[in-house]
Structure 1
Amino acid sequence: MARVYKQRVRRYWLPVLIGVLFLLFVFAYMKPWPYMLYGAGSAEPVHPRVETGHKLEEKGALLFTTVSTYSNPNIFSIIYARINPRMEVKSQEAATGGATNLKAYRNLLAWMRDSSEANALLAAYAAMKKPIDVKEQGVIVYALLPDSKARENGLQEGDIITKADDKTITTAKVLSEYLSSKKPGEKVTVSGTRGEEKFTATVPLIAMAPSNRTGIGFQNETVLKVTPPDPVKFDFADTGGPSAGLMMTLEIVAQLTGEDLTRGYRVAGTGTIDASGTVGQIGGINYKLMAADREKADYFLVPYDKKNPSNWNQAETTVKDLKLKPKLVKVSTLQEAVDFLKKLEPKA
């Protein structure tokens, strides 16, 4: 009997080994890990994604750039990203800034995109000295502070608060004044929207340093609804974050003034925009440059801050190390970007 068993083992050991290895491969392929992978995204024309009711033929293109992200990768994707010099691996906690969960992080990114569209309208119409209607509609939970008790009581990043108890909340100031009338340890019931859903959370209040003011304990911004006099529509639902703000604004200005700011060139860029037209720095500029180079951009508009030129420094290093072709252009404001484009000699 023992002899027969040994013969069977010798005969079938290879198929058994192959079967075990196959199962291990399937397990490794299917198992997600709490990491996020980064790489070059896209560099697409803004023109088809912004409608203003004013037709404009562009001989070139204004390109908004993105970073490709991949959450919960398997081990093979992680290994590939580790050895690829044009990719990066971050823990999910680092990538999301410690957000409660991925859904909360994505809700926050969606609001950032919507906010960048609102600010693009405000900046564009301010630059053209045209009136625009603005309404305050609530308060976004941007980031929860370490001492806050909100997270364990149901509040998340990306939540938009429109009510505190029975009081309607339209601005961060209104919310702050209402909470300041209470004492630390008391509770407040806040409600509003969480992505496409409604939420309600009852959270204990804390004394916030250094002012000792009573509050929930989160960084916030007022949510704005901006309605322009022109029928402006955006189509950026497949993106997230605020970094297309500058390029959106340039496209709005071009369409509403009827001036082709491209001058026949492919001009890529990135950067947040605020209502005053100030261009803010962003993350992942190296990956956006890779995308712009792949799409044969002639120029790349880089957010520039004299006090902290991190975007500019990284852009210069990336272009040099990877031998990328787009010419870098410093921009600190919308007006600087417009002035640069207007001074370009039309491309033959």
Structure 2
Amino acid sequence: MKKKRYIGMTAMIALLLAFATFFHLPYYVTMPGTAEPLRPLVEVKDGYKEKGQFMLTTVRMGQANLFSFAFAHVSKYNELYRMDEVRQEGESDEEYTHRQLKMMENSKETAIAVAYKKANKSFSYRNKGVYVLYVVDGMPAANVLKSGDQIVAVDGQRINEADEFIQYVGQKKKGERVRVTYKRSGKEKTATLTLAPFPKEKHRVGLGLSVMTDRDIVTDPPVRIESDQIGGPSAGLMFTLEVYNQLVPQDLTKGYRIAGTGTINIDGEVGSIGGISQKVIAAHKAGADIFFAPNERGAKHSNYKEAVKTAKDIGTKMKIVPVDTLDDAIQFLQKLS
């Protein structure tokens, strides 16, 4: 009798543990990730060597289960976000992943362009069309197009840039139709869609698409960046520094382990990111000496100020450096002894 009761209780506990593990809540949980050397991921052909390291910092993120949800409430640097704070309206998990990976591709492309421009090396673009990032539920495109489709033409006019598509559709009115030609898995298809108001913005009409230009950058010398399944644009600054350092004779690292984060735009300006505290922790655990943080032009609640606060809280000796531009980071490194 006791044995049966023991077996029943054990089975019940196992079921509860399985439920707590596999039942997902409508939240995402983030936590400190890793800080990885960039040199194995970035290679300029015949590029210069470096004594130190530039490091890419990441944040771990996943949909919360009961365990991670509870732990996030007692862990200072684990954070919870509602799904609608992470995903766009009507965006599926698959579409979110596609969007993050495409944003990373765009970030790498911009980083290469900025680095080559700074090093006075030649580069050019080769457009491949317009890429669908995600579609909005309830809108005309929702049951036709999906993340990953490539838009080739609209009403017979070839489309090479996302801005061209946005401008053309933006001139249309509610009820007007457009013929969208697109490619999926190598096959070309055409669909006629009728413009409609957005569910939460009745004054705006459209097809319900988020798009970006899909293009390759051609450089001399050639460069390769492998980012595997890392998503988002926050590694832009560090990719730029690594590429630039391989293009110029002077080694900016000077033997230091240099981590950091921040988006980069084509003008070399560094933008803010999410998860700055978690990235500081990841860099500290990896033994970084220096951490670049977006300064946001001295904003009251900038990434830099939060990074300084976190660094003090965890007792790291890592130096937190504010940057607004690529030049800020380069000038700091040039002054290192």
The residue number in structure 2 matching 1:95 is: 86
Compare 320-329 and 132-141 and name the one that shifted more: 132-141
Answer yes or no: is the 8 Å Cα contact 1:279–1:332 preserved in 2.
yes
Q: Which residue of 1 aligns with 2:220?
A: 229
| Equivalent residue number for residue 321 of structure 1 | 313
Please say if 1:340 is aligned against 2:332.
yes
TM-score with structure 1 setting the length: 0.84
CA distance in 1, matches of 2:272, 2:188: 32
Corresponding residue of 1:70 = 62
CA distance in 2, matches of 1:130, 1:235: 21
Counterpart CA distance in 2 for 1:87 and 1:226 is 37
Aligned twin of 1:5 = none
SS of 2:255 mapped into structure 1: coil
CA contact 1:36–1:92 (8 Å) conserved in 2: yes
Equivalents in 2 of 1:64, 1:343: separation in Å?
22
Partner of 2:50: 58
TM-score, normalised by the number of residues in structure 2: 0.86
Please report how far the alpha carbon of residue 307 of structure 1 lies from its aligned counterpart in structure 2 after TM superposition. 6.4
Matched, 1:79 2:70: yes
Q: Is the 8 A contact 2:95 2:133 kept in 1?
A: no
Contact 2:42 2:242 in 1 (8 A): yes
5+ residue gaps, structure 2: none
Q: CA deviation at 1:341?
A: 0.7
Pick one of 237, 245, 263 that aligns with 1:254. Answer: 245
Give 3-state SS (helix, strand or coil) of 2:232's partner. coil
The CA deviation string for residues 85-116 of structure 1, in whole angstroms up to 9 with x for no partner, is 22112233322244511100010011111101
Q: In the alignment, which residue of structure 2 is the partner of 1:119? A: 110
Q: 1:132 aligns with which of 123, 134, 146?
A: 123
Provide, for residues 127-183 of structure 1, a one-character-per-residue CA deviation record: whole Å limited to 9, x for no partner.
12232111333334557679x824643445665533324332111332244335644
Secondary structure of 2:120's aligned partner: coil
Unpaired runs of at least 5, structure 1: 1-7
Amino acid corresponding to residue 34 of structure 2 in structure 1: S
Distance 1:260 1:241 in 2: 28
Describe how 1:146-185 pairs up with structure 2 within 5 A.
149-150=139-140, 152-156=142-146, 160-179=150-169, 182-185=172-175
Distance in 2, matches of 1:194 and 1:87, equals 38
Percent identity, please.
35
Distance 1:192 1:109, change over 3 A: farther
Aligned to 2:97: 106
Q: CA deviation at 1:206?
A: 3.9
> In structure 2, what is the equivalent of residue 3 of structure 1?
none
Q: 1:339 offset after TM fit, Å?
A: 1.1
- Relative to structure 1, the CA distance from residue 177 to residue 94 in structure 2 (aligned partners, 3 Å threshold; closer, same or farther) is closer
1:78 Cα deviation (Å)? 2.3
How many equivalent residue pairs?
A: 334
Is 1:272–2:263 an aligned residue pair? yes
Distance 1:81 1:185 in 2: 47
Counterpart amino acid of 1:104?
Answer: E
> Which deviates more, 154-163 or 255-264?
154-163
1:14-53 maps to which residues of 2 (within 5 A)?
Answer: 14-53=6-45
> Using a 3 Å threshold, how does the CA distance of structure 1 residues 79 and 45 change in structure 2: closer, same or farther?
same
Q: In structure 1, what is the Cα distance between the partners aligned to 2:206 and 2:110?
A: 27
Specify whether residues 276 and 325 from structure 1 end up closer, same or farther in structure 2 by C-alpha distance, changes over 3 A only.
same
Q: What CA deviation, in whole Å up to 9, does each residue of 1:179-201 have, x standing for no partner?
A: 35644212334354679998876
Select the structure of larger CA radius of gyration: 1
Looking at secondary structure, tell me which structure has more strand per residue: 2
